[in-house]
């Protein structure tokens, strides 16, 4: 999506992939700056190491605990995180609502993506939050962290990923967010009990598969529920990265077209 964006804006640059060995992020960033790179997107497993080696750390990236976007300005390394802001923009596009007006259920909330969504949702003032995880006890550190981000008026509940527990939470939820890896494989077991979704729900599956919709998205379609997959998040994360690098609005439709073309 970035090369079509560069072309659309008439920017003489190219987006390329660079493989960096674990433990060499600092050296790689120094080389990028020396060679005139304007910015970098950072993927697993380098997001946490990147947090430690940038010169300037955006406050939101500090709160989210990882850096996935680097902007290089006058040789200095500026670190950002697009996970939370990308989530906000993609929810607005897919569901026509602001996170501050929603009740959310986050599946896999103790993981990196789930934690980022939970933190951003609380910072945005969501109405109600349910955190679900395979091992419910692993949510304790996140609960403590979230408690420091609001005034006590937000109700935060937890549960396991056991289907009956999830079914009990769904009547009070607007949007179900899948932040687990379940759905990447066609034979993954369903996350939600069959028939528990209604047309009043929204389903946001952060997983996306080129081979077709995940089981969760299929359930949403059958229930006539609004839905979006991880491509929507990827698009808006990319747009936010572009804005950090070039200090101008991203050509969103050119980027969307590039993603769609890559999907085939």
Question: Mind telling me the catalytic residues?
Answer: 47
CB-neighbour burial class of residue 204 (10 A; exposed 0-12, middle 13-18, buried 19+): buried
Cβ contact 105:157 at 8 Å: no
Task: State how far the Cα of 76 lies from the Cα of 30, in Å rounded to an integer.
Answer: 9
Per DSSP, the three-state class of 202 is strand
Per DSSP, the three-state class of 105 is strand
| Region for 251 from its dihedrals, namely left if φ exceeds 0, alpha if ψ lies in -120 to 50, beta otherwise | beta
Task: State how far the Cα of 80 lies from the Cα of 6, in Å rounded to an integer.
Answer: 20
Phi, psi of 134 (to 5 degrees): -55, -45
Task: State how far the Cα of 172 lies from the Cα of 216, in Å rounded to an integer.
Answer: 19
The CA-CA-CA angle for residues 222, 228, 229, to 5°, reads 105
Neighbours of 59 (CB within 10 A): 7
Q: Which pair of tokens denotes residue 233? A: 């998040």
């Amino acid at each position: 999506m970035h090369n079509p964006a560069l072309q659309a804006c008439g920017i003489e640059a190219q987006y390329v992939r660079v493989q960096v060995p674990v433990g060499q992020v600092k050296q790689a960033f120094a080389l990028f700056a020396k060679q005139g790179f304007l910015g970098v997107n950072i993927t697993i497993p380098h997001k946490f190491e990147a947090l430690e080696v940038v010169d300037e750390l955006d406050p939101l990236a500090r709160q989210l605990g990882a850096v996935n976007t680097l902007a290089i300005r006058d040789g200095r390394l500026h670190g950002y995180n697009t996970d939370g802001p990308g989530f906000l923009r993609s929810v607005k596009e897919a569901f026509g609502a602001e996170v501050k007006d929603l009740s959310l259920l986050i599946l896999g909330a103790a993981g990196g993506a789930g934690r980022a969504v939970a933190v951003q949702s609380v910072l945005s003032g969501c109405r109600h939050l349910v955190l679900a995880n395979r091992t419910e006890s692993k949510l304790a550190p996140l609960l403590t962290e979230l408690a420091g981000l609001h005034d006590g008026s937000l109700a935060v509940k937890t549960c396991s990923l056991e289907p009956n527990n999830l079914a009990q939470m769904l009547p009070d939820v607007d949007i179900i967010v899948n932040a687990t890896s379940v759905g990447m494989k066609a034979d993954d077991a369903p996350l939600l009990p069959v028939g528990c979704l209604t047309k009043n729900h929204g389903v946001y599956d952060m997983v996306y598969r080129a081979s077709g919709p995940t089981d969760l998205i299929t359930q949403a379609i059958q229930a006539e529920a609004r839905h979006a997959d991880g491509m929507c998040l990827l698009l808006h994360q990319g747009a936010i990265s572009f804005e950090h690098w070039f200090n101008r609005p991203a050509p969103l439709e050119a980027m969307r077209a590039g993603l769609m073309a890559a999907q085939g």
